[in-house]
Structure 1
Amino acid sequence: MLIGEVARRSGVSSRMLRHYDSLGLVRPTGRTVGNYREYSADDIRRIFHVESLRSLGLSLREIGRALEDPAFAPAALVSDLIQRTEDRLHREQELLDRLRTVDASAPSGWEDVLRIIELLHSLDSPNAARRQQAALTPDSVPTDLLAKAILTESDPNVAGALRWALARADNAVAGIAPGLQSNDVAVRRRAVQALAELPDATAVLETALTDEDPTVRKHVALALGNRGVTAAIPALVRMIVEGVNDVEAAEILGTLAADPAVITALTAALATTDSPARIRLTQALAELPPPVAEEALRQLADDPDRVVAMIAASLMKR
Structure 2
Amino acid sequence: MTMLNDDTNLARALRGLERGSASVRLKAALAVGTAPDRRCVDTLVERCAVEPDFHVREMLTWALTRHSPSTTVPRLVDELRSERAQARSQALHTLSKIGDRRAWPAITRALLTDADDEAARSAWRAAVVLVPEGEEPELARVLATQLGRGERQMRLSLSRALIALGEVIMPILRASMAHPDPRVRQHAHATERLLRDPEAGFDFAIEEAKRTLVLGTTGQEE
Change beyond 3 A, Cα 1:129–1:254: closer
| Identical aligned residues as a percent | 23
Q: Quick check: 1:139 aligned with 2:44?
A: no
Unaligned runs of 5+ in 1: 1-106, 291-304, 312-318
Residue equivalent to 1:238? 145
Residues in 1 aligned to 2:176 and 2:64: alpha-carbon distance in whole angstroms: 38
Q: Deviations over 1:139-192 (max 9, x none)?
A: 334222222222221211111111011111122212222211112223222222
Residue equivalent to 2:16? 122
Q: TM-score, normalised by structure 2?
A: 0.69
1:274: how far off? 2.6
Residues in 2 aligned to 1:157 and 1:150: alpha-carbon distance in whole angstroms: 11
Residue equivalent to 1:223? 126
Q: TM-score, normalised by structure 1?
A: 0.50
Residue equivalent to 2:175? 268
Higher relative contact order (CA 8 A, sep 6+): 2
Residue equivalent to 1:104? none
Larger radius of gyration: 1
How many pairs were matched up? 186
SS at 2:180 equivalent: coil
Residue equivalent to 2:213? 308
- State which of 82, 102, 109 in structure 2 corresponds to 1:182: 82
Kindly report which structure 2 residues correspond to 1:6-85, keeping only aligned pairs within 5 A, or say none.
Answer: none
Q: Which amino acid aligns with 2:174?
A: T
1:205–1:220 Cα contact (<8 Å) kept: no
SS at 2:12 equivalent: helix
1:134: how far off? 0.7
Residues in 2 aligned to 1:224 and 1:151: alpha-carbon distance in whole angstroms: 20
Relative to total residues, which structure has the larger helix share, 1 or 2? 2
Change beyond 3 A, Cα 1:227–1:191: closer
2:104–2:130 Cα contact (<8 Å) kept: no
Residues in 1 aligned to 2:130 and 2:77: alpha-carbon distance in whole angstroms: 18
Unaligned runs of 5+ in 2: 198-209, 217-222
1:221–1:232 Cα contact (<8 Å) kept: no
Residue equivalent to 1:280? 187
Residues in 2 aligned to 1:119 and 1:306: alpha-carbon distance in whole angstroms: 56
Residues 120-129 or 205-214, more deviating: 205-214
Residues in 1 aligned to 2:19 and 2:113: alpha-carbon distance in whole angstroms: 35
Change beyond 3 A, Cα 1:187–1:308: same
